Structure 1
Amino acid sequence: MGETTDRQYVEYGCHDRIATIALNRPEKLNAASDEVVRQLMAALRRFDADPDALVAILCGRGRAFCSGADVHQRQLRSREELERLGGPQGHGANAADLLFQSVNSKPVIAAVHGHVLGLGLALTLDCDLIVAEAGTRFQLTETSRGLGAARHWAQFHFRGAGAFGDEVALTGRFFTAEEALAANLINRVAPKEKLMESARELAVSVAANPPLSVRAIIRTRRWYLDRYAKEAAFQQAPMRLYLTEDFHEAALAFKEKRKPRGFKGR
């Protein structure tokens, strides 16, 4: 829907053994379209194969890290297309286990700012370490959009933020970087304008260790998180929430910039 497929939506660079992977769709607050997801997967695979890169920092250009999935493209598909694809994602653009598909055992640090919503939150929580700029606002949008938040719920519990995660998953409310740090959901809160500096300091500390030692930890951590998150998603999958009237109404309300007209539980 108006997406230029030859544009570079994700930037990759490597300096002093630390790779930087940056979402680069700032005019849409880095909303993740199918093409953004595909390019991000390619960048993560490039990092995985890059012999010069030991650690990656995942960040976003512009005013926000990621405002979530591109609703206009991914959530307003026809019912027939949603059934054929098995969800809102396009072919080769499933972000649910994006990092696990692309990176074997190298550590990825999320450096987030502005807004971190929906798909952006899930991607952040899949990363191994998380640094957020002071004042960053997070939201699990899947609950209010009718998609369910089983995977997010599992990510919160895996990180030791169970009670906080229960509340956020059931209410879908915004929460701040400071709340996330207090709940043990993220690792650090960086001062304003110091996000990348703080993330790089953390990356340097990780990269100073023997690479195979670090990768043994990452490999183990990812295996357990992936298993836990997939088991949670498996419980939700039979409901096929992406085909419900409530999901369609929530997506339409977002497009039309209005409040939903009432959910029907079907």
Structure 2
Amino acid sequence: MTQSQTGTLVDYERDGEIVTLTLNRPDKLNAFNDELVGALSDALHRFDMEDEAQIAIITGRGRAFSSGADVKQRQLRSREEFLRLGGPQGRGTHSADLLTRSVNWKPVIAAPHGYVLGLSVGIVLECDLIVAEEGTRFQITETSRGLGAGRYWGIMQFRGGGAFAMEAAFAGRYFTAEEALAANLINRVAPKGRYLDMARELARDVVKNPPLSVRSTVRTRRWYMDRMTREIMHQTAPERLYLSEDFQEAARAFTEKRKPAKFKGR
């Protein structure tokens, strides 16, 4: 049985036991504003609560999985807003909560293509399995924006990224799906146009197993991942880098489509 809901910020489609969640803000390259984070949270909760659904795939509509955080909304807030919210995220829209507040601990596959930037790198790496289209380009943009990449470094280390995780976090350079596969960050690289097909093949392999057995492993994995990332965020929170001059300059330069001025370390 197939069920679908389209025309929303996150389209929801269930085909038997497999749910596909499609980020649907293609005109903005699926940039995550507070509303899109909230919509994905709602869609994941619906998947978690739906008895027939056993596994979900997250993908993006258009040219990219996601260009990351919506800079104009989440990174150009006033100082007063940053202080009140405790960071760039809006109230109740912290992306780190998306996959770690489950009840039934069902597995989630990320199926990215095009670009995976900034905030969306975290969402992809926090998924249980990852199938990326060949040539997909990843970038931890937090490094160049002055926010720090500690959480992303930690997730990459958790997935086995080793020395590559250090380079990706420190340099903030683009890296490809092929590099990510070689560094053990993702599970599979799919030929052009076949990343969803391959993700669904992997999903069918997973759902052949007793669901409670699979969920037990998901729960264990996410518990350890969440503990590690919460420790990192607790350690870095007092820095409040979102209040620094360098962060403000980097965010303004991005929206004004210019090179940032020389960073001052303050």
Separation in 2 of the partners of 1:157 and 1:43? 28
Tell me what 1:3 maps to. none
The residue matched to 2:160 in structure 1 has which SS? Answer: coil
Compute the displacement of 1:48 (Å). 0.3
What is the TM-score of this pair, normalised by structure 1?
A: 0.96
Q: Does 1:240 align with 2:243?
A: no
Q: Does 1:66 align with 2:75?
A: no
Specify whether residues 104 and 232 from structure 1 end up closer, same or farther in structure 2 by C-alpha distance, changes over 3 A only.
farther
Separation in 2 of the partners of 1:161 and 1:77? 33
Question: Which structure 2 residue ranges, 5 or more long, are not aligned?
Answer: 1-6
Question: Which structure 1 residue ranges, 5 or more long, are not aligned?
Answer: 1-6
Q: Does 1:20 align with 2:24?
A: no
Compute the displacement of 1:102 (Å). 4.2
Separation in 2 of the partners of 1:90 and 1:151? 18
Compute the displacement of 1:101 (Å). 2.0
Contact 1:47 1:103 in 2 (8 A): no
Separation in 2 of the partners of 1:216 and 1:92? 27
Separation in 1 of the partners of 2:240 and 2:194? 42
Separation in 1 of the partners of 2:157 and 2:21? 27
1:184 maps to a residue whose letter is N
Compute the displacement of 1:234 (Å). 1.6
1:9 maps to a residue whose letter is L
Tell me what 2:51 maps to. 51
Specify whether residues 216 and 22 from structure 1 end up closer, same or farther in structure 2 by C-alpha distance, changes over 3 A only.
same
Query: Considering only aligned residues, what root-mean-square deviation do their CA atoms show, in Å?
Result: 0.9
1:122 maps to a residue whose letter is G
Q: Does 1:255 align with 2:255?
A: yes
Number of equivalences = 260
Specify whether residues 103 and 71 from structure 1 end up closer, same or farther in structure 2 by C-alpha distance, changes over 3 A only.
farther
Compute the displacement of 1:103 (Å). 5.5
The residue matched to 2:253 in structure 1 has which SS? Answer: helix
1:178-189 correspondence runs (5 A): 178-189=178-189
Specify whether residues 264 and 104 from structure 1 end up closer, same or farther in structure 2 by C-alpha distance, changes over 3 A only.
farther
Separation in 2 of the partners of 1:33 and 1:103? 25
Compute the displacement of 1:96 (Å). 2.0
Tell me what 1:133 maps to. 133
Tell me what 2:109 maps to. 109
Q: Percent identity?
A: 65
The residue matched to 2:169 in structure 1 has which SS? Answer: helix
2:143 maps to a residue whose letter is T
Tell me what 1:4 maps to. none
